[in-house]
Structure 1
Amino acid sequence: MMNVLAFVGLPLLLLLIPIIAFLIKIYSGKSINNPKYPPVLGTVFHQLLYFNRLYDHQTEAARKHSTFRLLAPGQSQIYTTDLQNIEHVLKTNFDKYAKGECNQDVFRDLFGTGIFAVDGDKWRQQRKVASFEFSTRVLRDFSCTVFRRNAIKLVRKVEEYSQANQVFDMQDLLMRSSLESIFKVGFGVDLNCIEGEGQGSSKEKSIMFMKAFDDSNELTYWRYVDPFWTLKRYFNIGSEASLRKNIKIIHDFVDKLITARRKQLDSDVKSEKEDILSRFIRESKKDPETMTDEYLRDIILNFVLAGKDSSANTLSWFFYMLCKNPLVREKLDREIEEVFGNLKEKASSSVEDCIASITDEVLQKMFYLHATLTETLRLYPAVPIDGRVAETDDVLPDGFKVKKGDGVYYMSYAMGRMPYIWGDDAEEFRPERWLKDGIFTPESPFKFTAFHAGPRICLGKDFAYRQMKIVSIALLHFFRFKLSDDSKKVTYKIMFTLHISGGLHLTAVSRRN
């Protein structure tokens, strides 16, 4: 009998030892009951219990505690909606906070050493080149030409759905359009993926890339709540096997793109390419040991994340909110008619000529459109949560202590719903909150954090707004949209960026009828 117990007990003991060690690592040295540190609301692994509604759970927690902690195997993860804390981390004490090794371990496989994943010299180098490029008139004009061209494609595609009285996924269509735009502006490549699934090898590969990129985004985020992800990666099983497969598709696609662009530039050295990749390749010749093809690939993937997801996600939520708020849609229709002109006035114009007339002057006058897009971002930020890791011990402005290695995260999704930030109507979709005497009036970037803030504030903010305005004017000018099922609950998918789960299924009615 004792032998049987020993036989059963030994494996159980061997199993319990690492579990106990893991729990000790989570709970020890965290000053749990010390009021000088933020209150503890659980561990990072408790997030599994409400993972599918994670950002709403964080919102509920933030209503009770503007700053709180979740315990992790390393240090604590601090979450805050306090505006002074956010400015302290992102600007005032910028040099004392970094991406952190823990975060970099999570997303290094997908984003490598790109601008969103690194600190120090690599970040400064990429920021310097990108900052210069985004400030040039050439890139601005080139990008607007690309945005208009893809807006024409969108109108043509939606027209097909409208004539067939067919339900379509607006989010998928916008994702394809944004992907085309970022690849043309960023890398000088025509993907031609708006028209449909496609059978041609080029179109097929671009659709595969987009799916692999979105799946990798989701699978990478899952690592934050999966305590066994490093083990699964080592054995190449489960979610980590899927992630590795998707990353290979992504890397193969981008590597071929870089090789082709290098050959084009080498064969035509006098050619002035307008895309960002060409300029980074020229920069790489000054320091070939550092700026390898792998480094360029990482840069590209970071720009894809910023350029595709931010605009497409925001526009998806924008059209959803217009369907749910018809009075806002009517005000937008009036502004478009007043500034851009109505269909009767443009009856003799082709779609191409009509969209070509969406000039900078038109965009600058669209204050209500700008406010509506911004209100969408307030409630549905492209990146719902972001933050930094403390390089040294610190004290936040709200008085709570931070230990070296603690993560400090600001919750943009929750912030948009906080009455103590936006007033009692914080959860209402009200674009008018951004207007003063009819003119758009911005808020502090530490209050409206959709484009980050401080030295790392998004360089592509103005580009994103231009793209979103051109696309929204074009589509709203030609169509009226309706949810295919108004009773269906629309919610988000848990990723680094705020996708609509399951897509946004609409019907479109032509306004030319």
Structure 2
Amino acid sequence: MALIVAILCILLSWIFIHRLKQRNAIGPKTWPLFGAAIEQLINYNGMHDWIVGYLSKSRTIVVPMPFTTYTYIADPSNVEHVLKTNFNNYPKGEVYHSYMEVLLGDGIFNADGELWRKQRKTASFEFASRNLRDFSTVVFREYSLKLFDILCQASYINKEIDMQELLMRMTLDSICKVGFGVEIGTLDPSLPDNRFAQAFDTVNTIVTLRFIDPLWKLKKFFNVGSEAVLHQCIKTIDDFTYNVIRKRKAEMEEAAGINKDEKIKNDILTRFIELSKDPQSNMNDKSLRDVVLNFVIAGRDTTATTLAWAIYMIMTHKEVAAKLHRELMNFEQARAEEENISLKKYQDDDPESFKHRAMQFAGLLNYDSMGKLNYLHAVITETLRLYPAVPQDPKGILEDDVLPDGTKVKAGGMVTYVPYAMGRMEYNWGPNAVSFDPERWLKDGIFQNSSPFKFTAFQAGPRICLGKDSAYLQMKMALAILCRFYEFKLVAGHTVKYRMMTILSMAHGLKVTVSKHGHVS
């Protein structure tokens, strides 16, 4: 008995001394063995704002965890050091790779070294193609108009809709058409169930939890709890993905049989399939599966969630909505005059004339003409500043290093730059940092870029997002068509908050009612 009491006294003294040493420490308080895991678990559902609280007091915070240490950074000089200056010292790393491998495999977002360079070279060649850009413009217009039709029906019967879900369907259909050359039809008027999308979201949520769950490997070994759910969802995802690959290969073989000299579709998957035929590439169907899923998360989730947050910002900031609608109206008139097009008048009670006018407007939108929509570009960029699609991005540490602000980081740990927090820091954006203000991006009405190490929504340095222009193209196309003709209103009582996953999606969707814009022309 005396031994037990002595052990308890020693344990309590150890905890007391440990906590006493942290009285003046900056950052979350830790516990012996558990580090800051307890505090992170308690604040898990609002972790991005939990980090904001600490980074507003210190530009760098160190968070010890049971098996590693996270260093969170929000200062642009530190971010530039990690993403560019000392890039080779901060790969995705083995820890991140182990968390995400079940979903992303060895795809471009989860790979390092030569494997990453090969994929990026192939992808960058494709994204630089004017053919792909022109084809993407047609596809993005087509699916934006499909969404327009669904909203048209909802407006007539005052039906509540989940805009985030509809946008996820639109971007999934788009990336499958542009990236993989296949039609999957999730945005058909009947809105068919989409087991792949549901499974993809579930897996995304579970792998995010792995970052702070010290027991995930144990749960995986015994196939219990969240890891058991993940295992089942991965089966659904793989069934879909391998079917896309088989279908694409069959189409390529059929086309080659008809005309061996004719090069068929120039989508991203086709290029990787062609690359896999080279024995030196070491690519197989598993490699192609990883390519598909990495581009799904890039082309579907990030774009859809940004569009959802943008619509939420527009509907909750009336002055922004008015300025945006005015820009779109002026653009429509100017472009119609340039093209010598007579715009068809429409009435609210005539759906066919309403749709025809929308099609006329959509026809005026292309890559070059949308470059004139400076305020729309600013609205999207300001949305990304406050609600970046990837709210945190962790990097591994190969060797001990010292960040520009003097913070020492140890090999084997993780450095995470935090776009969500960076957009809310006064030391980055001034006293109105938390305000939604598209005007901050405009000078004399013309959009002005900011440093990618300050505005980190598309990353920066060698890993800067290849699909940035494509993402803006789709987002501007969709928002221009929707906001020119519709007004959105949040359903009473609906709560908008983010869900903890690798992408900043809304936990409960975006429930709205939609009405035609109060303008008859």
TM-score normalized by structure 1? 0.90
Q: 1:44 to 1:273 in 2, by over 3 A?
A: farther
1:244 to 219, 223, 231: 231
User: 1:38: how far off?
Assistant: 7.9
Residue 300 (structure 1) aligned with residue 287 (structure 2): no
Match of 1:226 in 2: 213
Match of 2:244 in 1: 257
Match of 1:428 in 2: 435
Match of 1:501 in 2: 507
Residue 85 (structure 1) aligned with residue 78 (structure 2): yes
SS of 1:383's equivalent in the other structure is coil
AA partner of residue 386 (structure 2): L
Distance in 2 (alpha carbons) for counterparts of 1:455 and 1:197: 43
Superposition pairs of residues 347-426 of structure 1, within 5 angstroms: 347=345, 349-426=356-433
SS of 1:78's equivalent in the other structure is strand
Distance in 2 (alpha carbons) for counterparts of 1:213 and 1:268: 31
User: 1:501: how far off?
Assistant: 1.1
Match of 2:266 in 1: 274
SS of 1:227's equivalent in the other structure is coil
User: 1:354: how far off?
Assistant: 3.0
* Range moving further from structure 2, 264-273 or 296-305: 264-273
Contact 2:141–2:362, Cα closer than 8 Å, also in 1: yes
Contact 2:391–2:419, Cα closer than 8 Å, also in 1: yes
Query: 5+ residue gaps in structure 2?
Result: 257-261, 337-341, 346-352
User: 1:261: how far off?
Assistant: 1.1
Q: 1:39 to 1:323 in 2, by over 3 A?
A: closer
Match of 1:75 in 2: 68
Distance in 1 (alpha carbons) for counterparts of 2:319 and 2:358: 27
Distance in 2 (alpha carbons) for counterparts of 1:453 and 1:252: 34
Match of 1:491 in 2: 497
Contact 2:27–2:54, Cα closer than 8 Å, also in 1: no
Deviations 1:45-96 (A, max 9, x none): 1211111111011000101111011112333110010111100000000011
User: 1:197: how far off?
Assistant: 5.6
Q: 1:483 to 1:393 in 2, by over 3 A?
A: same
Distance in 2 (alpha carbons) for counterparts of 1:140 and 1:118: 26
AA partner of residue 361 (structure 1): D
Match of 1:51 in 2: 44
SS of 1:494's equivalent in the other structure is coil
Q: 1:273 to 1:388 in 2, by over 3 A?
A: same
Deviations 1:190-216 (A, max 9, x none): 111113565xxxx54xx1101110111
SS of 2:396's equivalent in the other structure is strand
Contact 2:203–2:230, Cα closer than 8 Å, also in 1: yes
Deviations 1:102-151 (A, max 9, x none): 11111111110000001001100000000000000010011111000001
AA partner of residue 442 (structure 1): N
Match of 1:314 in 2: 306
SS of 1:358's equivalent in the other structure is coil
Residue 129 (structure 1) aligned with residue 122 (structure 2): yes
Match of 2:174 in 1: 181
Contact 2:151–2:514, Cα closer than 8 Å, also in 1: yes
Distance in 2 (alpha carbons) for counterparts of 1:353 and 1:370: 21
User: 1:226: how far off?
Assistant: 1.4
Q: 1:64 to 1:432 in 2, by over 3 A?
A: same
Contact 2:442–2:448, Cα closer than 8 Å, also in 1: yes
AA partner of residue 425 (structure 1): N
Distance in 1 (alpha carbons) for counterparts of 2:280 and 2:85: 35
Contact 1:38–1:400, Cα closer than 8 Å, also in 2: no
1:210 to 183, 197, 204: 197
Match of 1:510 in 2: 516
Contact 1:340–1:358, Cα closer than 8 Å, also in 2: no
Distance in 2 (alpha carbons) for counterparts of 1:359 and 1:142: 11
Match of 1:119 in 2: 112
Distance in 2 (alpha carbons) for counterparts of 1:470 and 1:396: 40
Match of 1:143 in 2: 136
Distance in 2 (alpha carbons) for counterparts of 1:166 and 1:58: 38
SS of 1:507's equivalent in the other structure is strand
SS of 2:206's equivalent in the other structure is helix
Deviations 1:222-257 (A, max 9, x none): 111211110110111110000010011001111111
* Range moving further from structure 2, 392-401 or 68-77: 68-77
SS of 2:416's equivalent in the other structure is strand
AA partner of residue 158 (structure 2): N
User: 1:259: how far off?
Assistant: 1.3
Identical counterparts, % of pairs: 45
SS of 2:44's equivalent in the other structure is helix
AA partner of residue 201 (structure 2): D
User: 1:40: how far off?
Assistant: 6.0
Match of 1:338 in 2: 330
Q: 1:121 to 1:193 in 2, by over 3 A?
A: same
AA partner of residue 163 (structure 1): Y
Match of 1:479 in 2: 486
User: 1:288: how far off?
Assistant: 6.6
User: 1:472: how far off?
Assistant: 0.4
* Range moving further from structure 2, 473-482 or 38-47: 38-47
SS of 2:239's equivalent in the other structure is helix
User: 1:350: how far off?
Assistant: 4.6
AA partner of residue 473 (structure 1): A
Distance in 2 (alpha carbons) for counterparts of 1:172 and 1:287: 41
SS of 1:113's equivalent in the other structure is coil
Query: 5+ residue gaps in structure 1?
Result: none
- What is the Cα-based RMSD across aligned positions, in Å? 2.5
AA partner of residue 256 (structure 1): N
Contact 1:38–1:67, Cα closer than 8 Å, also in 2: no
Distance in 2 (alpha carbons) for counterparts of 1:275 and 1:462: 16
Distance in 2 (alpha carbons) for counterparts of 1:139 and 1:404: 41
SS of 2:405's equivalent in the other structure is coil
Match of 2:188 in 1: 195
AA partner of residue 360 (structure 2): D
Q: 1:196 to 1:44 in 2, by over 3 A?
A: farther
Contact 2:139–2:174, Cα closer than 8 Å, also in 1: yes
Contact 1:346–1:354, Cα closer than 8 Å, also in 2: no
SS of 1:425's equivalent in the other structure is coil
AA partner of residue 492 (structure 1): Y
Distance in 2 (alpha carbons) for counterparts of 1:39 and 1:484: 38
1:156 to 149, 155, 161: 149
User: 1:353: how far off?
Assistant: 3.5
Contact 1:41–1:69, Cα closer than 8 Å, also in 2: no
Count of paired positions? 484
Distance in 1 (alpha carbons) for counterparts of 2:255 and 2:288: 20
Q: 1:196 to 1:244 in 2, by over 3 A?
A: farther
TM-score normalized by structure 2? 0.88
Q: 1:350 to 1:164 in 2, by over 3 A?
A: same
